[in-house]
Amino acid sequence: MTNQIKNVAVIMDGNGRWAKKKGLPRTAGHLQGTKNIRNITIAANDLGIKSLTLYAFSTENWKREQSEVEYIMKLPAQFLDDYLEELIENNVVIKLIGERDRLPEYTRKPIEEAEARTAHNNGIILNLCLNYGGQREIVLAVKQMIADGVKEEEVTEDLFASYLMAANCNPIDLLIRTSGEQRISNFLLWQIAYSELYFTDKLWPDFTAEDFKEAILNFDKRERRFGGR
């Protein structure tokens, strides 16, 4: 490979449309989409990618119907019940990114237990972004810098980045969005400054390990310039 690829992020979109196409309730799409996280994580780990950062629930997704939100919030526990042992065998490190306070305990606790159990692994870092918003992340970083008494002359790009919740995936090399939408929807804002963007019409539950590899191959052909030439 010519381009170094370390950090990949995915906006896992299209669960609702996947279900609708099949005449199923939206929740069925979320269940299938959640199962797919296992496949793509294993594929990314096998490719030697350092971090995989997945947008699972945004700060705006609370606006959805309560029953849908409740269903989504139960999925992390189920996902970890089904796949945590296998992910541990694959040396995956699990991390939760997002404002934790608003997450129900039945969502937060199993992920925090998985964080503790996988902290010493040395495989891919799987960042699960739940109740995450890029703008919120920036505001929280600024608040914390002020609380820490950081002085104006001490503020640099590196220091600021270190205050971000999603510091461990900075910078994102490749951002993938499924489902045909071509927007960022308040996902990682700072971290995607020079990301390559990859959009596919595939709906997230249909997005396979092969599709993921195709995105990586496509990334490999890009000429990254970072403002130089």
The span from the CA of 213 to the CA of 211, in Å, is 5
The span from the CA of 217 to the CA of 214, in Å, is 5
148 is known as an active-site residue: no
Q: Looking at residue 52, what DSSP letter applies? A: E
Of the listed pieces 44-52, 56-64, 100-108, 139-147, which binds ligand IPE according to CB under 6 A? 56-64
61 is known as an active-site residue: yes
Please report whether residue 179 would count as binding ligand IPE according to CB under 6 A: yes
The span from the CA of 205 to the CA of 22, in Å, is 12
Q: Which is nearer to Mg ion, 51 or 179 (CB)?
A: 179
Q: Which is nearer to Mg ion, 13 or 173 (CB)?
A: 13
The catalytic residue among 3, 61, 168, 186 is 61
Shortest distance, CB of residue 143 to ligand IPE, whole angstroms?
24
Of 72, 73, 74, 124, the closest CA to residue 94 belongs to 124
The span from the CA of 154 to the CA of 159, in Å, is 8
The catalytic residue among 7, 13, 15, 173 is 13
User: Could you tell which of ligand IPE, Mg ion, none binds residue 173, using a CB distance below 5 to 8 A set by kind?
Assistant: none
> Number of residues in contact with ligand IPE, rule: CB under 6 A?
17
Under a CB-based contact definition with an 8 Å cutoff, are residues 191 and 9 in contact?
yes
Of the listed pieces 12-20, 48-56, 186-194, 204-212, which binds Mg ion according to CB under 5 A? 12-20
Q: How many residues comprise the chain?
A: 229
* Active centre residues (catalytic): 13, 61
